[in-house]
Structure 1
């Protein structure tokens, strides 16, 4: 059963991977978390959310709030 924590973690991991270009977050460094992300990403509702553009907006907002430069 997927939890809100799973969804939030997957979203944050996706955003951080997009920001860092995978430099700091990888399957080798955090295999258990990446396995959970894979589980979440298999859910059709999560895929719909990503396709809606809201995930991209969240990533862009995170970049702005943290004053980061996308890689």
Structure 2
């Protein structure tokens, strides 16, 4: 399993989160999507690494913009 957190710009509500979740969940290999609207964080758990261009396209289809992967500190 691979978990990647991305930054998505333009989300302001639960409807935004639902739209982004629906589009990313449709990508092959995606197991789970968690959206934090307040921070713009979208955490995707997948069977393996995802192509960032595919994730960006899915986010764009939902009407938002992918700013890129977040650099999170290692715990």
TM-score, scaled relative to structure 2: 0.27
Higher helix share: 1
Query: TM-score scaled to structure 1, two decimals?
Result: 0.28
Which is strand-richer, 1 or 2? 2
- Higher Cα Rg, which structure: 1
